[in-house]
């Protein structure tokens, strides 16, 4: 397996790898995956990353090129001051269990350090939370969750970091769910509440989120101790009438925000 910087000729294959990997491992609808791939891994987006001074990208390829599919993995990182963040890592499902993900991770960690980063973070979409187990094997710890806008998608990503490098307050991005920014809610002493149609107050758990097509869904509880679950709160319109079908697919009947359940293709650590 060879690791190298990609070229413009690799953009189509990179998109194919991302599409296949997300389909196999992410609890997102095909439409959501298509929009993410088009936004983040289309020809123009990848070309911009290749020309960027702060974004680093690597691909893994087989020794032989069969039908133009030599590239079987992709990793991307960003340098921000003395912090390096591994933001995307994908492996073609047909090549899972061969250590490709490990090689990509190690290569990007070294590249970020060479670029001046003294601390490392890594992110995984909450739609693929098992992927965090991979980062934990390298000593990274789950430190926070934050909202992530990708094209028209509002997603939630989980942030992992070196335990010694955790710095409270530095993990938020613009658009993170914080303060009183959720529609129809109030936040006091760190507790966010919303009111049901019959006037009851429920607790909106900001740290228990599921991605949605327009905004995240948050678990809602009837008590401060979070022992009695009420249902879900829609972060897009503030509705508490969110429904869940027998495949655990969430949908808001008021605004159309929705979350699709995981692909039928199972995920495990060997994916990486």
Concatenate the DSSP letters of all residues of 196-217 into one string. Answer: -TTS-EEEEEEEEEE-BSSS-E
pLDDT at 229: 94
The stretch 71-80 carries a mean pLDDT of 95
Model pLDDT, residue 260? 55
- If asked whether residues 103 and 230 sit together in one domain, one would say no
268 inside domain: no
* Confidence check: pLDDT of 258 > 70: yes
Domain membership flag for residue 194 = yes
Q: Which of the residue ranges 8-17, 27-36, 161-170 would you say has the lowest mean pLDDT?
A: 161-170
- Residue partners of 124: CB distance under 8 A and separation at least 6: 131, 132, 135, 157, 158, 160
**Pick from 83-97, 177-191, 238-252, 256-270: least confident:** 256-270
**pLDDT over 80 (residue 247):** no
Q: How confident is the model at residue 147, as a pLDDT?
A: 83
Q: Is 252 domain-assigned?
A: yes
**pLDDT mean across residues, the chain:** 84
Judge whether 86 and 122 are in contact, CB under 8 Å: yes
Instruction: Say what the pTM is.
Output: 0.68
Residue 179 covered by a domain: no
Given 171, 194, 220, which residue is the final one in a domain? 171
Say yes or no: 247 and 127 in one domain: no
133 in the same domain as 17? yes
The residue range of the domain holding 104 is 2-171
Same domain, 213 and 115: no
**Co-location of 148 and 192 in the same domain:** no
């Amino acid at each position: 397996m060879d690791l190298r910087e990609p070229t413009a000729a690799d953009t189509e294959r990179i998109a194919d790898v991302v599409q296949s990997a997300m389909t196999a491992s992410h609890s997102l609808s095909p439409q959501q995956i298509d929009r993410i791939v088009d936004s983040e891994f289309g020809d123009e987006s990848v070309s911009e990353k290749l020309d960027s001074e702060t974004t680093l990208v690597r691909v893994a390829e087989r020794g032989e090129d069969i039908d133009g599919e030599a590239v079987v993995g992709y990793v991307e990182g960003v340098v921000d001051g003395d912090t390096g963040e591994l933001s995307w890592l994908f492996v073609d499902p047909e090549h899972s269990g061969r250590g490709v993900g490990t090689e990509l991770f190690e290569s990007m960690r070294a590249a970020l350090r060479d670029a001046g980063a003294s601390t490392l973070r890594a992110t995984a979409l909450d739609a693929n939370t098992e992927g965090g187990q991979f980062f934990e094997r390298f000593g990274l710890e789950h430190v926070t969750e934050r909202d992530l806008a990708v094209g028209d998608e509002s997603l939630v990503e989980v942030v992992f970091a070196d335990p010694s490098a955790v710095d409270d307050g530095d993990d938020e991005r613009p658009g993170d769910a914080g303060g009183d920014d959720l529609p129809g809610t109030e936040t006091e002493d760190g507790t966010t509440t919303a009111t049901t149609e019959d006037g009851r107050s429920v607790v909106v758990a900001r740290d228990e989120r599921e991605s949605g097509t327009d905004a995240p869904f948050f678990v809602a509880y009837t008590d401060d101790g979070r022992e009695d679950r009420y249902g879900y709160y829609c972060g897009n319109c503030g509705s508490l009438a969110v429904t869940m079908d027998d495949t655990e697919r969430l949908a808001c009947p008021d605004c159309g925000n929705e979350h699709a359940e995981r692909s039928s293709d199972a995920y495990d650590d060997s994916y990486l």
